[in-house]
Amino acid sequence: MDLRDLYQDIILDHGQRPRNFRVQEHPSHVAQGHNPLCGDRITVYLTLEGERIADVSFQGRGCAISQASASLMTEILKGKTLAEAETLFRGFHAKVTGGDAPAAPEALADEMERLEPLSGVKAYPARVKCATLAWHAFEAALKSGSAGATVKTE
């Protein structure tokens, strides 16, 4: 099995059986993401304890890439500080857009590696929005608090 097949299997697994796919009862932050071009919709729920992400989950529907990206994102961000989450988002965004990824601290190297299966979308510019939708919703949730926000990727 080559690396591309392995990455495809990881995306399909997370797309079909997403982790942390649930509504939180009392999140401290929430935001919705919508990609009107393909119909992907995601709501991200976030609970912060100080500067640490105590819980993050999502619900929504969309293609395997958007669901897998949200699933991987929730697994990776749980327990991280907001600064670590920002570093991971910048690194992930660079990976999927083909930009220059900032050097991730050694402590986050495993998490960045876990996001590698989604890096192939950079070859398909229309799919980049699918992969980044949950991350943009996460960022919008941080800015909006419990009032909620909606972010559209077009």
Domain boundaries, the chain: 3-152
Partners of 21 in beta bridges: 58
pLDDT over 90 (residue 126): no
pLDDT band at 42 (very low <50, low <70, confident <90, very high): very high
- Which range, 70-79, 108-117, 143-152, has the best average confidence (pLDDT)? 70-79
Angstrom distance (rounded) from CA 22 to CA 60: 9
The percent of residues in the chain predicted with pLDDT above 90, rounded, is 72
Question: Span 3-152: which CATH code?
Answer: 3.90.1010.10
pLDDT over 80 (residue 151): no
Angstrom distance (rounded) from CA 67 to CA 18: 7
- Which tops the pLDDT comparison, 78 or 153? 78
pTM above 0.85, yes or no: yes
pLDDT over 60 (residue 1): no
